[in-house]
Amino acid sequence: MATDIAAVGGACGAGQCAGKCKKALKDGSWSDNPVCMQILGICSSLAVTNRLENALVMGGALIFTTTLSNLLISLLRNATPRRVRMIAEVAIIATFVIVFDQFLKAFSPQMSKQLGPYVGLIITNCILMGRAEAYALQNSPLPSIVDGAANGLGYAAVLAIIATIRELAGTGKLLGFVVLSSDVYTPNQAMVLAPGAFIILGCIIAAYTALKTKPKEKKA
Amino acid sequence: MNGTSALIILVAAIFTNNILLSNFLGMCSFLVCSRQVATALGLGAAVIFVMTCTTIINYAAYHWVLKPLGVHDHLYFIVFIAVIAAFVQFIEMFIERFSPSLYHALGIFLPLITVNCAILGAALFMIIRNCSFVQSAGYGFGAGVGWSLAILLMSGLRQKLGYSNVPKAFHGVAIIMIITGVMAAAFMGFAGMVSIQ
């Protein structure tokens, strides 16, 4: 019934729609966080977090692509035959990634070079495909936009946290500005390199799990 | 990278520039499929095969089709992912028809590989590093072997992990991440050996 109404005019009941959007926002950014809870999009969250600047651009890119691809997939969900839905989703996602890549190349070639292949790899970022399959295919456009944006936001937030720790501990700088001068703190190179990334993400996931399970234990 | 021999690239792709441990690609299936050594072996073999072939095909598509047409700059993402998806689908049908036993061993892993970002990543690295045809083939094969080596080592470690007492919050993915970090640190010991890029 709800899907019928949505299919006709994209207008679901205002109250129901707002509730859905609110739930999508909360799930995506905290209680069902794509990186910490669903363990999606791990590759890029490790690779681009050596500097906060890179992480912020990547987070922005993901918010942009998940929001728009969710919107388009949701709009086309009744027109797409089930058998070819995967390839249709990939094509839609790739289109938005190309748009972002061209934009970045035109306005910030330096950043485009730093991110290297990881902009193109947004196509295979599991968050996009995951949200398309799990949410946009079943829901009307408006909640899908919110869901996409919320998941992008959750991802961007985790990226920003990891990048802040890594850049600060690894170089003593934040966004290129010196925060901890070299006489106070000796930078630990390992944080910028691969092992630091894995270990910090492990600790963040552990902290997230600990924070999330706490309230439940109190109730019990 | 002109002049570097394909053999050096192969060794570098396995040890010093391991696609998983230093480029962080293919993490999803690495985390999910490393529970058992047998599973890791099957997936590893499938990845080596698909990665070598798709890197070569994508090299051909990029340099011999897209470049002459002048659309390589904005279309290569979509062409690469389409090539990978089509190749995997084709191989799946081919193996099913001609070797049912191999299909049962590899079959379930093939669809997973389409979304393995290491496959697309290897193709993109090949473009960024401006590899020649032979270098691309060496890199594709080496990256596949490197990835399989990492998942195989991890599956061995994970079977032992079952007996150890891990703190509660670290259960599941968190401890795997930290072990991977230690593995990455160990692999950094190879760093002086050969290098690419």
| Chain segment B110-126, per-residue pLDDT in tens | 777 776 788 888 888 88
**Chain A contacts to B (CB-CB under 8 A):** 39-40, 42-44, 46-47, 86-87, 90-91, 94-95, 97-98, 101-102, 116-117, 120-121, 123-126, 129, 190, 193-199, 201-203, 205-207, 209-210, 213
Q: Which of residues 33-72 of B touch A (CB under 8 A)?
A: none
Determine the pLDDT at residue A195. 86
Per the prediction, chain B carries an average pLDDT of: 84
Nearest CA in chain B to A115: B128
Looking at the complex, does the CB of residue B181 fall below 8 Å from at least one CB of chain A? Answer: yes
Residue type, B20: L
Determine the pLDDT at residue B81. 86
Please give the sequence-ordered ranges of beta strands (E in DSSP) within chain B, or none if there are none: none
Looking at the complex, does the CB of residue B23 fall below 8 Å from at least one CB of chain A? Answer: yes
**Cβ density class B72-84: b for 16+ within 10 Å, e for less:** beebbbbbbbbbb
The answer to whether B180 contacts A198, with C-beta atoms less than 8 Å apart, is: yes
Nearest CA in chain B to A113: B128
Interface A-B: count of C-beta contacts within 8 A: 123
Per DSSP, the three-state class of A174 is: strand
Radius of gyration of chain A (CA): 19
Confidence label for B54 from pLDDT (cuts 50, 70 and 90) = very high
Please report the DSSP string for B63-100 in residue order.
Answer: IIIIHHHT-HHHHHHHHHHHHHHHHHHHHHHHHHHH-H
The answer to whether B81 contacts A46, with C-beta atoms less than 8 Å apart, is: no
Q: How far is A220 from chain B, CA to nearest CA, in Å?
A: 17
Residue written as token pair 């720790």: A165
Over pLDDT 70: what percentage of chain B? 94
Stretch (H or E) spanning B127: helix B117-128
The answer to whether A199 contacts B120, with C-beta atoms less than 8 Å apart, is: no
The answer to whether B178 contacts A190, with C-beta atoms less than 8 Å apart, is: no
Contacts of A44 in chain B (CB under 8 A): 24
The answer to whether B121 contacts A117, with C-beta atoms less than 8 Å apart, is: yes
Contacts of B170 in chain A (CB under 8 A): 202, 206, 209
Alpha-carbon span A111 to A4, nearest angstrom: 45
B10-27 confidence digits (pLDDT tens): 888 888 888 888 888 888
For chain B, the structural domain boundaries read 6-190
Nearest CA in chain A to B176: A202
The answer to whether B181 contacts A202, with C-beta atoms less than 8 Å apart, is: yes
| Residues 6 or more apart in contact with residue A109 via CB below 8 angstroms | none
User: How many other C-beta atoms lie within 10 A of the C-beta of residue B71?
Assistant: 12
Alpha-carbon span B117 to A105, nearest angstrom: 22
Range with lowest mean pLDDT among A2-11, A84-93, B61-70, B135-144: A2-11
Alpha-carbon span A129 to A125, nearest angstrom: 7
Nearest CA in chain A to B115: A124
CA distances from B39 to B26, B105, B108 (A): 15, 9, 10
The answer to whether B24 contacts A203, with C-beta atoms less than 8 Å apart, is: no
Nearest CA in chain A to B124: A117
Residue-level pLDDT, tens digit, chain A, 220 residues: 333 333 333 334 455 666 777 777 777 777 777 777 777 778 788 888 888 888 999 999 999 999 999 999 999 888 888 777 778 888 888 899 999 999 998 998 888 888 888 888 888 887 888 888 888 888 888 889 988 899 888 889 888 988 988 888 888 888 777 777 777 777 777 788 888 888 888 888 888 888 887 665 544 4
- Decide if pLDDT at B50 tops 60: yes
Looking at the complex, does the CB of residue B111 fall below 8 Å from at least one CB of chain A? Answer: no
Confidence label for B143 from pLDDT (cuts 50, 70 and 90) = very high
Residue written as token pair 């999009």: A41
Residue type, B155: S
- Minimal Cβ distance to A117: which of B128, B171, B188: B128
